[in-house]
Structure 1
Amino acid sequence: MTPLKIGACLKSCQITHHRDWLFDADRDIEIQDFMSHTALTEERHDRIEAVKTALRGHQGRVGIHGPFEGLDIDNKDAELRPLITKRFLLAVEAAAAIGARQMVLHSPYTLWYQNNVLASPDYAEDKLGRIHQVLAPVVKQAEVEGVTLVIENIMDVDPATRRMMVDSFASPAIALSIDTGHAHLARRMSGAPPVDYFVRDAGAQLSHVHLQDLDGHADRHWAPGEGEIHWTEVFRALGECPNNPHLVLELRNNRDIPKGFGYLQSLGVAC
């Protein structure tokens, strides 16, 4: 198995703690400074400048995590949907301003959806229609800016559902993200398949991966090796991916990045 190069998710103020590791190998970086309303409005200029400064000299790939709190991409309230679209458009503009090529957004699919999809007429179609109302202008702007929206599994049970949602846009500006911890948690809570199945189902649509470990009870964001995930099989599946997805450690404590990287390196799966 060929080891894969991995990077990390960080706020701009945290990059200095890991600068040598990130910059010397041109590792992927996901910036997590633009997730709130304040960050994308009144603090927007200052945050963009801070990120640019922190990334100066970095030659690797960059993405951002987009906003998500309260911003359901299938919101049933017609008055709120345009506000969600507006927030995502601001985030795409921020991504482009710092030279990021990806933006993570959260999936709207849950166990509730999977269990109710055939319980009433047009349930799936109505949901997908709302998603397109919210995201279609964002996908269009992402195409213009050269940014790819990557849709991260949150409570997804069947990975094919999210994949088909992404495929429905028929655009290179929207693809799939996998959070390893979320996938494993869904397996324990909702009977989802194991993490490597999420990877294999994504196939050529996989453009981004959050690497984190957990105990199957809560969304811990522990360093790999501290939880239950079978990392060798996950990386075997990643090695079969036809693309070269961004692979980034997303840990609750960024000081655990060396420990998580060291564990994966010891397995021979990461470099």
Structure 2
Amino acid sequence: MTDQTSQKILTGPQEDRLFVKLPFASLLAGGLEYFVEHGLQPEICFEADQVNRMGTEQMVPLAQTLRNANLRCTVHAPFNGLDFGALDADRMAWTRQSLDRTLLLCRELAPVTVVVHGGQPRFQSSAEYERWNERALPLLQTTAQQAQDQGTRVVLENICHTRPEQLAPLLEKLDGLAGWCLDVGHWHVFGREPISRWAKILGSRLEQLHLHDNHGGADEHLAVGQGSIEFHQVLGTLAETGPVHTPPVVTLEVPYQTGVEPSLRALAPVWPWG
């Protein structure tokens, strides 16, 4: 990315903290070459069947390609078919194995962060989240500690959470082992509290942003500026309440061939960090 708009957001401490979503299947189908050619850092998104059939040796050439291009990565842990707070023993075993395998692959990839869903899409009520949080805590504690031991960081992403209080207790009980990944698109669709409330409750734990746009009714994953999210207000509020000296890691969850440039152009005039 070499145009002036891209350079405005890719300055100072943000230069190595901007990533773009890249599903692993797309990576294998030419996406990696595209990212290297355009100087994009990937957030590699794995599915459970992928991490469970691959070994670390298959990550070696990928990791080397990124290093040769002076690119880093983040990783999005699998979530389809998994339940970190499952009641069913077999499903919990599959979930645990999938997270373990993800972290095994991360030994070669050395991601900046590992994004883990902080809930289940079917949940809506605070009571459901409270029970799920208690069941999920032991597995997430183990996962976050293992990630920390490997030199990376788990961040929990808001999914269909309607209120920040549904996620806050889980982060509090993890006691610094994990941070918060605010998915702004999810907040716009599912959140029932203003961003100022989310920032007040969770802002001090903000470590990563998933940025994409929508019109409030569905998780469309449009380029920033193509929906109805008021990013100047959202980002400004977060900058006022979040960690002062550490801007968040940013992942653009947009179509990588068509959504990156318009997203950067839309973000440049409203970007509040350094």
Question: Common fold, TM-score beyond 0.5?
Answer: yes
Counterpart pick for 1:156 among 155, 161, 164: 161
Match of 1:221, SS?
A: coil
2:235 and 2:68 map into 1 onto residues whose CA distance is 29
Is the alpha carbon distance of 1:112 and 1:255 closer, same or farther for their aligned partners in structure 2, counting shifts above 3 Å? Answer: closer
Counterpart pick for 1:259 among 241, 259, 262: 262
> 2:78, 2:99 within 8 Å by CA — same for their partners in 1?
yes
> 1:261, 1:270 within 8 Å by CA — same for their partners in 2?
no
Residue 65 of structure 1: CA displacement? Answer: 0.4
Number of positions where the alignment pairs a residue of Structure 1 with one of Structure 2: 253
> 1:62, 1:99 within 8 Å by CA — same for their partners in 2?
yes
1:255 and 1:269 map into 2 onto residues whose CA distance is 24
- The runs of 5 or more residues in structure 2 that have no matched partner are 1-7
**Other-structure match for 2:104:** 93
Match of 1:255, SS?
A: coil
TM-score by length of 1: 0.80
1:235 and 1:156 map into 2 onto residues whose CA distance is 19
Match of 1:214, SS?
A: coil
Match of 2:95, SS?
A: helix
1:166 and 1:89 map into 2 onto residues whose CA distance is 20
Residue 110 of structure 1: CA displacement? Answer: 6.5
1:137-166 C-alpha deviation (Å, 9 max, x unpaired)? 222322321221111111001113212211
**Other-structure match for 2:143:** 138
Residue 60 of structure 1: CA displacement? Answer: 5.8
Letter in 2 for 1:202: L
Letter in 2 for 1:133: P
> 1:185, 1:219 within 8 Å by CA — same for their partners in 2?
yes
Residue 35 of structure 1: CA displacement? Answer: 2.5
Alignment of 1:148-227 (within 5 A): 148-172=153-177, 174-187=178-191, 192-195=192-195, 197-227=197-227
> 1:16, 1:54 within 8 Å by CA — same for their partners in 2?
no
1:7 pairs with 2:19: yes
Is the alpha carbon distance of 1:175 and 1:269 closer, same or farther for their aligned partners in structure 2, counting shifts above 3 Å? Answer: closer
**Other-structure match for 1:233:** 233
**Other-structure match for 1:249:** 252
Letter in 2 for 1:244: P
Is the alpha carbon distance of 1:200 and 1:160 closer, same or farther for their aligned partners in structure 2, counting shifts above 3 Å? Answer: same
Counterpart pick for 2:83 among 62, 66, 72: 72
Alignment of 1:80-119 (within 5 A): 80-108=91-119, 112-114=123-125, 116=127
Residue 82 of structure 1: CA displacement? Answer: 2.6
Residue 46 of structure 1: CA displacement? Answer: 6.2
TM-score by length of 2: 0.80
> 1:67, 1:88 within 8 Å by CA — same for their partners in 2?
yes
1:128 pairs with 2:141: no
- The runs of 5 or more residues in structure 1 that have no matched partner are 118-122
